[in-house]
Amino acid sequence: MTSPAEEPPARWTGLPSWLLTQTAGHAHRLVSDGFSSAGARGYHYRLLATLDEFGPASQAALGRRSGIHLSDMVATINELADREQVERAPDPADRRRNIISLTAEGGRQLRRLEKRLAETQDELLEPLSAEERRRLTGLLARLLDHHDRRIGAAREP
């Protein structure tokens, strides 16, 4: 608990942007700690989940689908390949390119990470009822969709 001298000014603590930012910081910490306890990072989960949902793909396609920048993608694939969670194979259509596939061990790790992720979601949303969680998730998805569409529209010629 903070003393009155340490409390931030009330003029911004009620702003939705401030509340979202502060909550996002807690969410990031909880998720990072959960993944770390399973010997992983967020990029590992994103890559494994993308492979599980969409199947084998090139590094470039995985980067676009997972939102992982290409410079980080190579390191992430290297880490997962060293753990035998993904496999690289030359693309038969273009031997200069690799196709990345999920291994059985990668699937098991993904399930472990999903369990940790569910636990962290419960911890983050602990004070909310099931209905409040659904409502919050729906509202956040709506906000994100709105702003993603605005950015997308601004980028179109």
d(CA 47, CA 53): 10
d(CA 38, CA 81): 17
d(CA 157, CA 150): 13
pLDDT tens-digit profile of 58-86? Answer: 999 999 999 999 889 999 999 999 999 99
* Closest among 118, 103, 126, 124 to 38, alpha carbons compared: 118
d(CA 11, CA 40): 39
Assigned token pair, 103? 């291994």
pLDDT band at 93 (very low <50, low <70, confident <90, very high): confident
Residue 43 contacts residue 72 (beta carbons within 8 Å): yes
pTM (2 d.p.): 0.84
